[in-house]
Amino acid sequence: MKPKVICVHIGARAHYLIPKALQLRGNLSYLITDTWVASAALRSGLANSPVRMVKSFASRYSSAIPSSAVKHFSLGFLAIEIMLRAKKLKSWDLIIARNNYFEDKAEKIIRMLPATDAVLGISYTSLKVFKVAKQRRQKTISFQIDPGLKEEQIVADIVAQYGDVYTTHWEPAPASYWKAWREECDMADVIMANSVWSKDALIEEGIDERKIEVIPLPFQIEKKHLDFKKQYPSGFSKERPLRCLFLGTLTLRKGVHIVLEVASTLVNAPIEFIMVGQNELDMKLLNKPNVQYKGVASRADTDAYYQSSDVFLFPTLSDGFGLTQLEAMAWQLPVIASKHCGKVVLDQVNGLELDVCDADALEKALIKCLEHPELLKKMASNCLETVKQFSLENFADSLAKLTE
């Protein structure tokens, strides 16, 4: 018999990627989550709400997961979310209060369910359910969403260096947060990291290397991707500039300061920087003639930005994986990426890999693209084959092995 797993999953991270993969291979016994909207009519109503927080709950459902297997506490979680926001808690106070509420509810639910072979939880929200699982001799698997404390140290250093210029409201997590995380890691029989970058960061913080397994995130290619044909001009000019897309939160961790520095240096070159996502910077910093800030985009608009761009910029200082790399490549968009994330880019095959994550390296990469549009065309032609290697089926097989 296939091992059965209880998946404890806060939010709709990567649109329920892990429980979907477990269901695909017949391993999912129950999904415990905060919110689940099985009604199509209710999802439609939520999607039309003018309130962004309410609107986001429209995505709390996946047809790939039977609702009969889902245990949730939707109304209670929505009420606590509204209450916590009404109290105007600071970011870490809000995150910790939300996580604690979720853990308390999930612990109560899991005690009422029959014991399965394993419990899989998301990092920072699984300590209490792991304690229950240990009492019931269930295998404990932690999905580590990021590189942990090492990433915070990287961000602290970059904020200390650039924070005065690139105004940021970033604050480190309280010591209690990391204390609970270390206990959670100790209780996990297996820790699932999405990249060697994350694994190395965990080891550096003293996490037992023997329990860490690297499983890259997947991406599902759709018909819309296969039907699309990327086109490049024979050369770039002011009338048809090289279009560089930065998509994600505009924050120092993501390397937005590197992109803006290069934009200033190459202001007279036929290059255009398109920036999409939530902005954490002073808007004045984006006021450059070759920078277009598009704000937070819908899924349809995001697809359009991928399609109309020539190269995707991902100069991250640290990411657990960086799924946007695969999203971009699904649209045959070559990626310029740092080495501080999941290994997707093969240098000069499907993109360019930065040896050093700084403005000089990114500038040299962009000049190469500017002067060699034929290289961009060649790299674009290899992108879809790359994405196919990161299939949901491969991910599901790797995940199933962890449950054995």
pLDDT per residue rounded down to tens, the chain (404 residues) = 899 999 999 988 888 999 999 999 999 999 999 999 999 999 999 888 887 777 778 889 999 999 999 999 887 777 777 777 667 667 898 899 999 999 999 999 999 999 999 999 999 999 999 999 999 999 999 999 999 999 999 999 999 998 788 867 789 999 999 999 999 999 999 999 999 999 999 999 999 999 999 999 999 999 999 999 999 999 999 999 999 999 999 999 999 999 999 999 999 999 999 999 999 898 999 999 999 999 999 888 999 999 999 999 999 999 999 999 999 999 999 999 999 999 999 999 999 999 999 999 999 999 999 999 999 999 999 999 999 999 999 999 999 999 98
Q: Is 72 left (phi over 0), alpha (psi -120 to 50) or beta?
A: beta
349 and 307 inside one domain: yes
Phi, psi of 268 (to 5 degrees): -95, 0
Q: Which residues are bridge partners to 9 per DSSP?
A: 33
227 and 209 inside one domain: no
Q: Which residues are bridge partners to 319 per DSSP?
A: none
196 and 245 inside one domain: no
232 and 277 inside one domain: yes
Q: Which domain holds residue 134?
A: 5-220+391-403
Question: Three-state DSSP class for 113?
Answer: coil
Maximal CA-CA distance, the chain: 67
Phi, psi of 141 (to 5 degrees): -125, 125
DSSP track, 144-175: --S-THHHHHHHHHHHHHHTTTS-----PPPH
Tokens of 226: 């296969």
Tokens of 184: 């959670």
CA angle centred on 280, ends 53 and 339, rounded to 5°: 105
- Taking the C-alpha atoms of residue 247 and residue 315, their distance in angstroms, rounded to an integer, is 11
- Taking the C-alpha atoms of residue 188 and residue 131, their distance in angstroms, rounded to an integer, is 10
The pTM of the whole model exceeds 0.85: yes
250 and 209 inside one domain: no
The H or E element containing residue 47 is helix 40-47
24 and 158 inside one domain: yes
DSSP track, 319-333: -S--THHHHHHHTT-
Residue 400: predicted pLDDT? 94
- Taking the C-alpha atoms of residue 370 and residue 372, their distance in angstroms, rounded to an integer, is 6
Q: Which residues are bridge partners to 206 per DSSP?
A: none
Residue 89: predicted pLDDT? 64
For residue 251, give the nearest of 272, 273, 282, 274 by alpha carbon. 282
The sign of the CA dihedral 241, 247, 250, 254 is negative
For residue 2, give the nearest of 20, 36, 25 by alpha carbon. 25
Residue 277: predicted pLDDT? 96
Kindly state the DSSP code that residue 216 receives in the 8-state scheme. Answer: P
**Domains in the chain, number:** 2
237 and 361 inside one domain: yes
Residue 293: predicted pLDDT? 97
19 and 52 inside one domain: yes
CATH number of the domain enclosing 264: 3.40.50.2000
- Taking the C-alpha atoms of residue 376 and residue 351, their distance in angstroms, rounded to an integer, is 8
Residue 163: predicted pLDDT? 79
Tokens of 144: 């580590």
102 and 247 inside one domain: no
DSSP track, 315-376: --S--S--THHHHHHHTT--EEE-SSS-S---BTTTEEE-SS-SHHHHHHHHHHHHH-HHHH
301 and 189 inside one domain: no
- Taking the C-alpha atoms of residue 255 and residue 312, their distance in angstroms, rounded to an integer, is 13
Contact 82, 104 (CB under 8 A): no
Angstrom CA distances, 260 to 9, 75, 155, 203, 236, stand at 36, 43, 18, 33, 20
**Bridge pairing between strands 311-314 and 335-337:** parallel
The type of residue at 75 is L
207 and 231 inside one domain: no
209 and 258 inside one domain: no
How far is C-alpha 16 from the geometric centre of its chain's CA atoms? 12
Angstrom CA distances, 340 to 73, 146, 148, 244, stand at 37, 11, 13, 20
The sign of the CA dihedral 372, 376, 377, 381 is positive
- Taking the C-alpha atoms of residue 58 and residue 45, their distance in angstroms, rounded to an integer, is 8
Q: Name the H helices within 48-148.
A: 52-56, 74-86, 91-112, 127-135
